[in-house]
Amino acid sequence: MKYEILGEPLPVVTCFVDAGETLITERGSMSWMSPNMKMETTTNGGIGKALGRMFSGEALFQNRYTAVGGEGLIAFASSFPGSIRALQISPGNNMIVQKSAFLASEAGVELSIYFQKKLGAGFFGGEGFIMQKLSGQGIAFIEIDGHAVEYELKAGQQMVIDTGYLAAMTESCTMDIKTVPGVKNMLFGGEGVFNTIVTGPGRIILQTMPVSNVAATIRPFIPTAK
């Protein structure tokens, strides 16, 4: 498969696939495609895995698109202004991503549910108790809210991240939460009560415009029903 990512901050990834090659996506993610792309809706692993994906923020069913009779073209557009990143998934190089980040992947990539090992990180860290795990073999495309900034953390190296800004990390990283020091800082600092602490080794991808922050910003301007 070859691909190109165009159009930030409203990006789309266009994939050029060989005959017989299959891509997997969530329901509604396909934007346009050549007429020889055959679609099949499936649970992709049975009802158990389908329910797991649903709890991690994705649809119960997935769509499989296969090029028939020759090279095919298919495009997947982001659902929110930001970035699309291509992740190379392989054994020992699994990625943990925020809920609803998954856009599409090659057929060898498996999307599953991922529970935070530490309850505090899940309930208060802003990324949620349930995240998504990308494993297997192949290229996966994820959506980033805003611009993506990447860091490679060494063993024991940490990054303090405000709520919602962690988009993805390698499975080798660990995530925990830490309270903002000082009561005055908590009440008047405007940064909330908790921060997320990610510890290496591994790669992290941060995002500059979490959709939750955007929603909170525009909420006061939305008229309420009377």
pLDDT in tens, the chain (226 residues): 999 999 988 999 999 999 999 999 976 789 999 999 999 988 655 555 545 545 545 556 789 999 999 999 999 999 889 999 999 999 999 999 998 899 999 999 998 888 765 545 444 444 456 789 999 999 999 999 999 999 999 999 999 998 889 999 999 999 888 876 654 444 444 455 678 899 999 999 999 999 888 888 888 888 876 6
Q: Note the pLDDT of residue 42.
A: 82
- Residue 178: inside a domain, yes or no? yes
Domain membership flag for residue 224 = no
Strand partners, 4: 14
CATH code for the domain in which residue 10 is found = 3.60.160.10
Specify the number of domains making up the chain: 1
Task: Classify residue 223: in a domain, yes or no.
Answer: no
Query: What is residue 129's predicted lDDT score, i.e. its pLDDT?
Result: 60
| Residue 67 domain flag | yes
**H or E element, residue 119:** helix 119-124
Whether pTM exceeds 0.85: no
Q: What is the C-alpha to C-alpha distance for residues 177 and 25, in angstroms, rounded to an integer?
A: 32
The sheet that has 72-77: what strands, in order across it? 2-6, 12-17, 72-77, 30-33
Residue 85, domain extent: 2-218
Beta bridge partners of 10: none
Q: What residues contact residue 124 under an 8 Å CB cut-off, 6+ apart?
A: 177, 193, 194
